[in-house]
Amino acid sequence: MFKRRRAVGGLLTLAAAVGVAAGAPASGDTPLGHTAGMVRATGENTVLGVADATGHPRLRELLHRLTTVDGGPGALVEVRDRTGSAVLTSGVADVRSGAPVRRDSRFRIGSMTKPFVATVMLQLVGEHRVVLDAPVERYLPGVVRGHGNDGRDITVRQLLQHTSGVPDILEHLSPAEILRDPLAHHDARELVNIALAHPPTFEPGTGWRYSNTGYLLAGMIIEKVAGHPYGDEIRRRIIRPLGLRETYVPGDDPVIPGPHPQGYVRPGEDAPLMDLTAVNPSVAGASGEMISSGTDLNRFLDALVRGELLRPAQLREMTRTRPTGNPDGRAYGLGLESRPLPCGGLYWGHTGDMLGYETAGGATVDGRQATVMVNLDPGGSDAQSDDIKAAVRVALCESRPSVSR
């Protein structure tokens, strides 16, 4: 949800004021060295030391880069195919203690929440409870109004595909405001109203621009149609059926359950890290509040692209993409994006930014998945996001676990 370049500017204005109050380590508390490890799943997991982890050399090189050159405290990648899975880690989960990143870490997944939300919406479409090309007004009468924004002209499909023109809440919500009270509750309707106090970025359907506001509205539609909060529907329709034991829709709870790395931001180029592990995720809501793990995200993406969660007609709608203008060939469907692979073909997935964590994940239709996490966002180098996405590509192209179950 929170993009690095914009967020750092807002954070910098608060760096001096927040400092220790936000949980920042003292200036001497820098990462205490870097460790790397690998776990292979062979029924019961066995931890292998670096000397034994001879596979995945390019992937290990990228992880090391993320925690040295790019400045992330710690990093994790989990790669899985039909024969097994591997988890590689680098750096530290906690810069004070120097504890390594655990292979079973949970973390905030930011905008990787969007595929979950879109899946629930498309399930409702398959149940004939939502119509993709119906106006938002049908489900949220009077909500999208003002300054040129009109829910009568915007469809559900356009919300999910970022073609609605609805202004992005992140263009009008300062990270500095969040840091003043990181545990404060944020109501989805209030966040939407902040965004709608500004004109649309284009006429609905005439362009593409990422908008977190569209997914706040999508969460509100799910609640209106299903009669339950969108998080309840995600738990009922996705988390429980797939047995995702490390995935949560936390609401107002600032705690990350289970083992997890601390989440850090760097408010300025030479500023010390600030610990923002505890934050009320309602500020992201349906656009990015969820918590998960590499294991669960890989399981979810695999089930999604293989048709376990959606009927064929709805999966076709989700994977009908449009170009985004990104030079890497990124194209966006409904809550799911595709990117080409250097080894041929493409993968389906998403990226995610949430205060303290940056993630990316992807899956191929032939059964390969990879998820990457760094516990720094915003404030990493400009290369951090590029190297995270590169790690996903390398994992999917070159990382084939050699063990069998």
Q: Which of 90, 105, 111, 292 is catalytic?
A: 111
- CB burial string 256-275: b at 16+ within 10 A, e below: beeebbbbbbbbeeebbbbb
- Res 3: pLDDT: 54
Chain centroid to Cα 388, Å, comes to 12
Is 174 or 385 the better-scoring residue by pLDDT?
A: 385
Residues in the chain: 405
- Res 211: pLDDT: 98
3-state secondary structure of 52: coil
- Global pTM value: 0.89
Which domains are assigned to the chain?
4-26+107-361 (3.40.710.10)
3-state secondary structure of 393: helix
In angstroms, the CA 19 to CA 11 distance is 11
Whole-Å CA distances, 266 to 55, 356, 389: 33, 9, 21
Element (H, E) at 291: strand 291-293
3-state secondary structure of 292: strand
- pLDDT, tens digit, for every residue of 51-79? 234 578 999 999 999 999 999 999 999 99
pLDDT level of residue 381 (50, 70, 90 thresholds)? confident
Residue linked to tokens 């220790």: 20
3-state secondary structure of 118: helix
CB 78 within 8 A of CB 370: yes
In angstroms, the CA 258 to CA 250 distance is 13
In angstroms, the CA 382 to CA 385 distance is 7
Percent of the chain residues past pLDDT 70, beyond the cut: 85
CB 48 within 8 A of CB 42: no
In angstroms, the CA 385 to CA 391 distance is 10
Two tokens at 364? 């191929």
CB 351 within 8 A of CB 111: yes
- pLDDT, tens digit, for every residue of 305-359? 999 999 999 999 999 999 999 999 999 999 999 999 999 999 999 999 999 999 9
Angle between helices 212-226 and 188-196 (to 10 degrees): 140
Angle between helices 113-126 and 294-305 (to 10 degrees): 30
The answer to whether residue 27 is catalytic is no
